[in-house]
């Protein structure tokens, strides 16, 4: 709910450990937020003069499409983001344009606008294609400056964006935190600029509906409304223990802080991805298991391609299945090692999805991979149940000469105390099976595989490699030579 709010893990300290918890993070208006106005629709109106002054909706144009961005002319008729396209059509007069979007053009304009921002600040955090924060403190004398200085800088940015993008307008907010900067830009829209000077936060927030706080959505609003809260000032009057009991630990503290304008999140230039997913809503519900299987394969390939491009290997494969009644079901499974391989992801996704059941029809399918681990050289710890915890460690290596999948196996009848400790595979092992006496490892890629044994051992027998199509091997079973 209030994931946007930083919660210190150690009580009494903010991020970095230097800011006492409970005090505003900054005494200067040094965080800036830029938001490109009605971005997708504005790009379309810029490139197609015939669309200017008319309602423009960019989004899904199919039977089950939703509005991604509505131009201000369309918003005049009550059209909003996330609204079903059919509803937008019903609300708009003739002459309104419905477009499916040209993402390359949007990316180009986004990059141009971001370039202007980077000229002003060395610490820029891109939040989405049309939004970014900048920390002004490293590059500007924010301690000594005035409101007029902040406004001049923001205006310079807006003019720069207009020039670099062929006339797109941006709304800019400046404040003492990310939250205040964002709320300032929101308040200035469209084509505006607003500085909330330190000390003005409480007055700015007081009369706003609590829904205006970033992180307070429909569900939270409804919960709090039953306790009589409407505005941010109402929230401020609620005691922390009450908020926690209504909203839970994290959101309770989060809302308590938000209502006071407290937000200690830093502007960060880089964030690590935590998951990669692809999903699709079908024009017609799927009822055939074979169709479901085929679609999962396509989605898995999209995910695998993006993992590979990013150099990521994930251990957890998830599926999302939405039924015709819009009920949504999630299943996930965690592998012993990371993967980026479409076949393995497909195999797991199909297994999970069929476990949920197709029901009366599948409206949406999704595939995700998360739980990223370091790739190839990462040593994967293997859990083999109770085993030897002390003693010697031995490593054995084998060369893998096949470019396709291969297996490495070993035989260790003499030492029943040894257990497999870790395996390093060139591009990540895919299936691992091991017992005290013998084991095998599936993987792909060329190179040397290292298998490490832990505990007292007389040494494993010869490590052998197999081609993927070796008849002695089957994907999910130990090889024939295993005891």
Q: Phi/psi of residue 424, each to 5°?
A: -115, 125
**Using rule CB under 7 A, residue 240 touches DNA:** no
CA–CA gap between residue 195 and residue 201 (Å, rounded): 10
| Residue environment code for 32-70, b if the CB has 16+ CB neighbours within 10 A, otherwise e | bbbbbbbbbbbbbbbeeeebeebbbbbbbeeeebbbbbb
Question: Minimum distance between the CB of residue 61 and DNA, rounded to whole angstroms?
Answer: 11
**Using rule CB under 7 A, residue 1 touches DNA:** yes
**Using rule CB under 7 A, residue 417 touches DNA:** no
Is 288 annotated as ligand-binding? no
Q: Phi/psi of residue 62, each to 5°?
A: -75, -175
DSSP state of 28: S
**Using rule CB under 7 A, residue 242 touches DNA:** no
Residue 420: C-alpha distances to residues 202, 396, 425 (Å): 60, 11, 14
Could you say which of 332, 402, 450, 465 contacts DNA (CB under 7 A)? 332
Segment near DNA (CB under 7 A), from 41-49, 147-155, 243-251, 403-411?
Answer: 243-251
Residues in 306-325 that interact with DNA by CB under 7 A: 306, 315-316, 318
Nearer to DNA, 60 or 198 (CB): 60
Nearest to 464 by CA among 414, 380, 400: 400
**Using rule CB under 7 A, residue 103 touches DNA:** no
Could you say which of 8, 84, 198, 381 contacts DNA (CB under 7 A)? 84
Strand ranges inside 340-405, DSSP E? 362-373, 380-381, 393-400
Q: Is 308 a catalytic residue?
A: no
**Using rule CB under 7 A, residue 75 touches DNA:** no
**Using rule CB under 7 A, residue 377 touches DNA:** no
Catalytic: which of 73, 119, 131, 266? 131
**Using rule CB under 7 A, residue 428 touches DNA:** no
Residue for token digits 């299943």?
331
CA–CA gap between residue 232 and residue 215 (Å, rounded): 13
Nearer to DNA, 340 or 412 (CB): 340
Torsion angle, alpha carbons of 283, 287, 288, 290, to 10: 50
Nearer to DNA, 60 or 426 (CB): 60
**Using rule CB under 7 A, residue 280 touches DNA:** yes
Token digits for 2?
């209030």
Nearer to DNA, 293 or 332 (CB): 332
| Residue environment code for 181-206, b if the CB has 16+ CB neighbours within 10 A, otherwise e | bbbbbbebbeebbbbbbbebbeebbe
Could you say which of 91, 231, 293, 333 contacts DNA (CB under 7 A)? 333
Residues flagged as binding site for Mg(2+): 35, 130
List residues near DNA by CB under 7 A. 1-4, 7, 60, 63-66, 68, 81-82, 84, 86, 127-131, 182, 213-221, 248-251, 273-281, 302, 306, 315-316, 318, 326, 328-334, 363-364, 366, 368, 370-371
């Amino acid at each position: 709910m209030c994931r946007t709010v930083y919660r210190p893990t150690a009580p009494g300290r903010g991020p970095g450990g230097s800011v006492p918890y409970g005090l505003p993070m900054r005494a200067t208006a040094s965080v800036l937020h830029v938001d490109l106005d009605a971005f997708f629709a504005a790009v379309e109106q810029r490139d197609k003069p015939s669309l200017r002054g008319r309602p423009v909706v960019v989004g899904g144009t199919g039977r089950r499409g939703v509005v991604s961005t509505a131009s201000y002319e369309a918003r005049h008729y009550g059209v909003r983001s996330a609204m079903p396209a059919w509803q937008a059509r019903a609300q708009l007069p003739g002459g309104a344009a419905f477009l499916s979007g040209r993402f390359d053009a949007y990316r180009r304009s986004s990059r141009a606008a971001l370039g202007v921002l980077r000229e002003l600040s060395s610490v820029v955090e891109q939040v989405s294609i049309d939004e970014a924060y900048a920390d002004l403190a490293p590059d500007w004398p924010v301690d000594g400056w005035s409101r007029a200085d902040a406004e001049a800088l923001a205006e310079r940015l807006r003019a720069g964006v207009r020039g670099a993008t062929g006339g797109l307008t941006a709304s800019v907010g400046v404040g003492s935190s990310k939250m205040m900067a964002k709320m300032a830009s929101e308040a200035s829209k469209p084509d505006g600029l607003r500085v909330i000077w330190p000390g003005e936060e409480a007055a700015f927030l007081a009369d706003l509906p609590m829904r205006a706080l970033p992180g307070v959505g429909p569900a939270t609003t409804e919960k709090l409304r039953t306790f009589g809260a409407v505005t941010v000032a109402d929230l401020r009057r609620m005691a922390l223990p009450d908020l926690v009991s209504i909203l839970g630990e994290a959101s309770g503290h989060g809302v308590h802080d938000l209502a006071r304008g407290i937000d200690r999140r830093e502007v960060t230039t880089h964030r690590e991805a935590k998951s990669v997913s692809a999903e699709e809503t079908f024009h017609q519900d799927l009822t055939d298991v074979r169709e479901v299987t085929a679609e999962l394969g396509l989605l898995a390939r999209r995910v695998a391609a993006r993992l590979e491009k990013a150099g990521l290997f994930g251990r957890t494969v998830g599926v999302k299945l939405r039924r015709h009644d819009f009920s949504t079901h999630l299943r996930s499974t965690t592998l012993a090692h990371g993967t980026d391989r479409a076949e393995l992801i497909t195999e797991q996704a199909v297994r999970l999805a069929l476990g949920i059941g197709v029901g009366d029809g599948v409206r949406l399918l999704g595939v995700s991979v998360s739980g990223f681990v370091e790739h190839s050289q990462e040593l994967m710890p293997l859990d083999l149940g109770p085993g030897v915890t002390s003693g010697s460690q031995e490593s054995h290596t084998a060369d893998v000469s096949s470019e396709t999948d291969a297996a490495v196996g070993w035989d260790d009848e003499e030492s029943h105390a040894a257990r497999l400790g870790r395996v390093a595979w060139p591009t990540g092992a895919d299936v691992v099976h091991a017992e005290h006496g013998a084991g095998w490892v599936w993987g792909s890629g060329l190179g040397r595989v290292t298998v490490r044994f832990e505990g007292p051992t007389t040494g494993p027998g010869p490590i052998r490699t197999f081609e993927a199509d070796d008849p002695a091997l089957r994907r999910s079973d130990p090889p024939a030579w295993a005891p």
